């Protein structure tokens, strides 16, 4: 889910430990979709009661069908459907991202935006005993859905927040994961997200990005994906027209960038080292 609105009035955001079953989520109500889940049991939401601004208009207008409406979660939270949308590549791309984080993941990890499927549960399974995972998303419904997929774990925190204005100090994380997020964001939000990722990752830490990429000219799905993007994902063509580096901040550049493409160039994995 795209993550785009200020979460907290505090510099160090409140963190929710996913450690106790049966807690009640009480986020501010942003929309009818949020109202529909406000009374349902789940984990409480970081930022609740702190005046979290409304969900950004572009997210409600463009991606209501995928992330905002309660029926969207019921529809898309199916492993086979996620894999179908990615033409059978979900497991491959998920495992490629996790491999960059390590067989055993140490330190502090930030996942920006919830993801349908089992990416986050598998990431949690790799955490070292003294490691931690924070997951940031603007939509309470997405955080509630993720909480239902995770067992109680003191190492995991769910935070309602803004990818383009993350409320935490500089150099807070050892690694940051952006999994199919950037193509869903308008350019100014995408630039802010990348700038914040660079800010919150420690020197020597890495940012792992998996997203769409311009496929080879004769790719059999190129015409189909062009139509899909124009109809359903209007910001995604930016990643066909530009390298991700184009949206990086000019004042803080990564020390190195490793890139690999998949499935005839339709997908890419970037590893940015600060």
Q: How many CA atoms lie within 13 A of 244 on its CB side?
A: 29
**pLDDT tens figures, 152-200:** 999 999 999 989 999 999 999 999 999 999 999 999 999 999 999 999 9
d(CA 186, CA 194): 12
Q: Structure pTM?
A: 0.84
Instruction: Spell out the residues 6+ positions from residue 133 whose beta carbon is closer than 8 angstroms to its own.
Output: 105, 109, 110, 111, 120, 123, 124, 127, 155, 156, 157
**pLDDT tens figures, 98-115:** 999 999 999 999 999 999
Name the pLDDT band for 55 (thresholds 50, 70, 90): confident
Distances from the Cα of 27 to the Cα of 5, 69, 160, 216, 241, angstroms: 14, 16, 9, 44, 38
Listed by start position, the domains of the chain span 16-273
Name the pLDDT band for 137 (thresholds 50, 70, 90): very high
d(CA 272, CA 274): 6
Residue 53: the pLDDT is 56
Hey, how many other C-beta atoms are within 10 angstroms of the C-beta on 74?
10
**pLDDT tens figures, 21-51:** 432 333 333 333 343 333 333 444 455 445 5
Residue 199: the pLDDT is 98
CATH architecture assignment, domain 16-273: 3-Layer(aba) Sandwich (3.40)
């Amino acid at each position: 889910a795209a993550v785009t609105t200020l979460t907290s009035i505090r510099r160090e955001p409140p963190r929710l430990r996913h450690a106790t079953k049966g807690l009640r989520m009480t986020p501010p109500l942003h929309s009818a979709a949020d109202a529909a889940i406000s009374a349902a049991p789940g984990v409480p939401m970081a930022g609740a009661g702190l005046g979290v601004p409304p969900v950004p208009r572009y997210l409600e207008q463009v991606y209501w069908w995928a992330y905002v409406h309660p029926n969207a979660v019921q529809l898309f939270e199916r492993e086979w459907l996620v894999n179908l949308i990615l033409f059978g590549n979900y497991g491959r791309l998920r495992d490629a991202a996790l491999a960059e984080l390590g067989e055993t993941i140490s330190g502090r990890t930030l996942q920006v935006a919830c993801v349908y499927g089992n990416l986050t549960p598998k990431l949690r399974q790799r955490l070292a005993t003294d490691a931690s995972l924070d997951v940031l998303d603007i939509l309470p419904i997405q955080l509630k859905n993720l909480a239902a997929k995770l067992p109680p774990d003191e190492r995991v925190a769910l935070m309602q927040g803004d990818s383009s204005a993350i409320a935490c100090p500089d150099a807070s994380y050892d690694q940051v994961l952006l999994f199919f997020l950037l193509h869903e964001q308008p350019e100014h939000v995408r630039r802010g997200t990348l700038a914040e990722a660079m800010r919150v990752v420690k020197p020597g830490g890495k940012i792992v990005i998996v997203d769409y990429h311009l496929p080879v000219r004769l790719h059999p799905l190129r015409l189909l994906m062009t139509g899909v993007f124009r109809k359903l994902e209007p910001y995604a063509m930016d990643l066909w027209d530009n390298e991700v580096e184009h949206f990086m901040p000019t004042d803080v550049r990564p020390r190195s960038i490793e890139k690999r493409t998949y499935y005839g160039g339709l997908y890419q994995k970037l590893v940015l080292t600060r």
